[in-house]
Amino acid sequence: MSKFLPQSSLITPIGLIANSGLLVSAVFQINQTTTITLGLIAVISSFVLFYVETTKRKLVTIRTKAQLNTHWIESLSHVERAELRAYINELESETSKLQTRVSELDLQSRELLAQNNLLESNQERLSQHANQVAELFEEVNAITTLTSHIEGSTIKASDVSDITTEAVISTQNRTGELWGVIESIRVEMNSVTEAVQNLQGRSKAISNVNAIIDELSEQTNLLALNATIEAARAGSAGRGFAVVADEVRILALESTRATSNVAQEISQLKIDTDKAANELDAVLQRFTGLTERMSGYDDELKQLSQNNELTTSQIREITDAVKGQSHAAKRLTRSFENMMAHLEQMTKSPSHM
């Protein structure tokens, strides 16, 4: 690791703030070193240019003197004159190349000096940006922590919603079974009600028949009484008829008593059947109310199921959004770390130049 950016400080806001200070300090040191180096290059370039200019002037002087001192030239052999010209030409060529290289070096040093001045002027901005990055990184860490808590809460809420959904489905199944039982009871209650109504009808019919029998008994009793009177008038000739008439009268009285007993039983039966019918009617009314409440309860269960499905869908959307936000925050954190590593590499490279 570089001496400017400790590894342990790359993943926390405090570390980023420390890194920013160390980074700015490193940039300041690099600026100072670069400024001194560029100053030395400028001085050396000036000396070299001065030397080149001096050399070129001396070459011009040598060429001029050689042209003026023809006797000295003529005293040289043909080979020596050729070597001298080649030497002078080569020296002029190398001097021109050196001048070009030194001019390029001077230009590059001036450009580097301008860039170094620009880098130095941006030093304070770099410090401010580093502090802003540290603050932003701290906010990202807080958001990451918050999204982690929210993600955990939404997962728990999703689990609760799933449990609620299962409970609602189970309740709906039980409600369906209860509806089947209620329908069976309703059919049986209708059958019982119909049987009671039939019993009431038959009791009424029996009462009518009993009334007819009672009326016939009374008429028979009257006829027997009249026959007895007529037999008494007939004297001895009507004694046999009187006995028969008396027996008929006795039977008529017994029939009257029997029909009276039957009438009492029928009356009690009618009372009992009416009571049973009333109780059945009350049970049917309560049963109807229960059915209506069950219907309302079933509707509420359906609405609860729909609301729970909607809630589950919304919770899943929130969970997906929170997961996306968490992933984005983590990617942003990695980007910050990569950026700091890149800055570390930038500061590490000049330190080993």
H/E stretch holding 100 reads helix 78-121
**Whether 181 and 321 share a structural domain:** yes
**Whether 104 and 154 share a structural domain:** no
CA gap 225, 222 in Å, rounded: 5
Whole-angstrom CA distances from 272 to 166, 204, 210, 259, 280 are 49, 13, 18, 19, 12
The reply to whether 184 falls in a domain is yes
Q: Tokens at residue 223, please?
A: 């006829």
**Whether 183 and 116 share a structural domain:** no
**Whether 259 and 197 share a structural domain:** yes
CA gap 147, 154 in Å, rounded: 10
Read off the pLDDT of each residue in 129-133 and give the average, rounded to a whole number: 60
CA gap 168, 173 in Å, rounded: 9
**Whether 176 and 222 share a structural domain:** yes
pLDDT tens for 293-318 read 777 767 776 777 777 777 777 667 77
**Whether 92 and 160 share a structural domain:** no
| Under 8 Å between Cβ of 42 and 113 | yes
Read off the pLDDT of each residue in 18-33 and give the average, rounded to a whole number: 55
Question: Looking at per-residue confidence, does 159 or 225 come out higher?
Answer: 225
**Whether 198 and 108 share a structural domain:** no
pLDDT tens for 241-297 read 777 777 777 877 777 777 777 778 777 877 877 787 787 778 778 777 777 777 776
CA gap 347, 341 in Å, rounded: 10
Read off the pLDDT of each residue in 9-20 and give the average, rounded to a whole number: 46
Domain count, the chain: 2
Q: Sorting pLDDT into bands at 50, 70 and 90, what band is 352?
A: very low
Closest by Cα among 88, 39, 90, 28 to 64: 88
Taking the whole predicted model, whether its pTM rises above 0.85 is answered as no
**Whether 112 and 157 share a structural domain:** no
H/E stretch holding 147 reads helix 123-234
Residue range(s) defining the domain that contains residue 54: 7-121
